Every structure is written in C-alpha cells, then in structure tokens.
Copies of this chain bind each other. A is one copy, B any other.
C-alpha cells in the first residue's frame, strides 16, 4: 500500500509539527480550514491516523474527550487539565525496570510508556480557588 503525497496530507502534518501544540483533530481541521477551506474533516482524521501509524506523529490517547496529537516523538508523558482539557508535555517516564516488573507479573506485553496523568492546570486552579466556580 504505497502512500501518495497530497496537499491535504502535507497540511495536516505541518499543522501538528509547525503550527499547533498538542492539537485535537478538530483544531487541526480549523487551522487548515483558514487557508484551505475545501478540506474535509474525514480527511483530517484519516491523515492524522495514518501519520501516527507511520510514526510521524504521536497519538495521545487516554484523555478525556477528544484525542490529541503530538509532534514530539521521544518517549515522554503528558499532563491533561481536567477542567480546560489543555495538554502539556512532562519530562517523566516510568522506570524501565518497573515496566518489566509489571509485564512479568501480569503477563501483559507491549506496554505504552507514554502515560497521561490528569489534574488541574495552573490557570484553572486559580479560577477554582477564586470564584469557586
């Protein structure tokens, strides 16, 4: 199954790598739509998944709400704000030995080293403390 280089594919990749930070499919769609109104949402979804399969993007799953994408390929984890849904990188990984131990005791394999931890971001913390709303 050989891949073709289409305008849409290029735009999707560049939106994630050059223009946005941890965007969702919707945000990628909106961004591209500004300059290229003809693009269809299904095309964005298809290309994001395809690029993630090829290893050119990282799919951040395990988040409440829509999936986010990341152009940083190195293993790292993410913090997700449960209030505003923002996602940030955090330079933390679970020790390799711990993973091996989990795999050994549970029989699970192929564990995903990119984990997601949810919490409340600084901005939303402020709001919560202030207005209690």
A contact residues vs B (CB 8 Å cutoff): 61-64, 79, 81-82, 88, 90, 92, 94, 98, 102-103, 106-112, 115-122, 125
Of the candidates B61, B81, B111, which one forms a contact with A119 in the assembled complex, judged by CB atoms under 8 Å apart? B111
Once the chains bind, are A61 and B64 in contact (CB under 8 Å)? yes
The complex is assembled from copies of this chain, and their number is 2
Q: How far is the CB of A66 from chain B (nearest CB, A)?
A: 13
Given known A-B contacts A61-B118, A115-B115, A117-B111, A106 and B79 have beta carbons under 8 A apart: yes
20 A/B residue pairs, CB under 8 Å, sorted by A: A61-B64, A61-B118, A62-B62, A62-B63, A79-B102, A79-B111, A81-B108, A90-B102, A92-B98, A92-B102, A107-B121, A107-B125, A108-B119, A108-B120, A108-B122, A110-B120, A111-B119, A112-B118, A112-B119, A115-B116
Q: Chain B residues with Cβ under 8 A from A109's Cβ?
A: 119-120, 122, 125
Chain B residues within an 8 Å CB radius of A108: 79, 81, 119-122, 125
